[in-house]
Amino acid sequence: MADKQVQTTFELSKLLNDIKEKASSNIIAAKNSEEIEFERVNYLGRKSELTFLLKQLKNLDLEAKKLIGAQANQLRQDINILLLKQEKKLQASELSQKLTTEEIDITLPGIKKLRGHLHPVTQMQRRAEDIFQSMGFQIVYPYELDDDAHIFSLINFPLGHPARDNWDTFSTIDGFMPIPHTSAMQNRVISTITPPVKVIIPGRCFRNEATDARHEHTFFQIEGVYVDKGIRLTDMLGTLKTFFTEFYERNIEVKFTPDFFPFVEPGGMMSLTCVLCHGKGCKVCKGSGWLEILGCGMIHPEVLKAANIDPDVFSGFAWGFGLERLMMMKYNIEDVRHFYNGNLKFLRQF
């Protein structure tokens, strides 16, 4: 019985050596990654000679198992090393061949990848926000849907007030409306922040407008609110003059013309020196040298009372301007509809 074990051990050991020689020869002869993978399966796969040989270990005694098992494990490691070396050698050869046969003509123009960018209105909104923040204003964003109280009643537009017709807007079946002006946020701001209140409210507004070159039903507006003790109309004029001078990057003069808005008293329209003709007079400003740009004024005492602020102690001013209108003046754009009609030739200029 012992002689038979010795004979079997000898035969298995010889078989392992034969496998090693054949594996070395065949792996070195492999010419590509497919042939490498074939040899890997052939010598290390579940149906390989080595796997079959290892199944015979159960028939050996303990000493023979240790001897043949160690030899088989060493053979597996040797084959793996051979496969890895040959694979790296082939990869280096293939790379060298590609570098020789697939040269890149560096004189050819490259293919430029198209990258998206911020919409021009978003760019200008961020620019305006940066300017006002440098002046000490906080930023609060409005609700795009709000109720009648905040859109109208709490800023001195009682039911039946004729001025509501100027803000004729859309509505939902549950009584909410897309805001027609960012003033809808004014009561929430001044009733929740202890004065001094120094806030801008940039947001999208919606109105029932007949669209043309100067009007859109959807547009961006920036509301400004400043409430503190001793605030005067001249403070508002100075604040807006500073903003527009920074925004247009040139000295801008401002002119206040009295007008009516229910939420301000006194209220009016502010005009700027025409940025196209520098105040000399042109077709856009109709020869006047001025462009009417926004509504503004001192916050009405009733609006302050609705926010539980004593108008005998505090005063403030507010304004609202359309961002697209400022951009039209800044870049001499003739039609507001360009901003939202999806024309990439226009949008890519910014």
Q: 207 an active-site residue?
A: yes
The CA-atom distances, in angstroms, between 254 and each of 161, 221, 269, 289, 323 are 30, 19, 10, 11, 17
Q: How far apart, in whole angstroms, are the C-alpha atoms of residue 243 and residue 131?
A: 7
Tokens 């507006």 locate to 221
Is-catalytic flag, 221? yes
Catalytic residue among 40, 181, 300, 325: 181
- d(CA 302, CA 264) in angstroms, rounded, equals 9
Active-site residue, selected from the candidate residues 40, 86, 140, 167:
167
Q: Which of 23, 30, 189, 318 is catalytic?
A: 318
CB 137 within 8 Å of CB 198: yes
Q: Which of 207, 300, 325, 338 is catalytic?
A: 207
Calculate the CA dihedral of residues 283, 286, 290, 291 and round it to 10 degrees. -80
Q: Which amino acid would we find at residue 48?
A: S
Helix (H) or strand (E) holding 295: strand 290-299
Q: What span, in angstroms and rounded, lies between the C-alpha atoms of 258 and 225?
A: 19
Degrees to nearest 5, angle at CA 144 with 140 and 145: 125
Q: Is 264 a catalytic residue?
A: yes
User: Residue 119 catalytic?
Assistant: no
CA pair distance 50, 256, nearest whole angstrom: 97
Report the candidate in 327, 248, 254 with the shortest Cα–Cα distance to residue 289: 254
Active-site residue identified among 64, 121, 199, 264: 264
| SS3 category, 45 | coil
Q: Which of 68, 50, 70, 52 is nearest to 60 (CA)?
A: 68
Helix locations, the chain, DSSP H: 2-29, 33-44, 49-55, 62-101, 120-134, 148-151, 186-192, 233-248, 301-306, 323-331, 344-347
State the catalytic residues.
167, 181, 207, 221, 264, 318
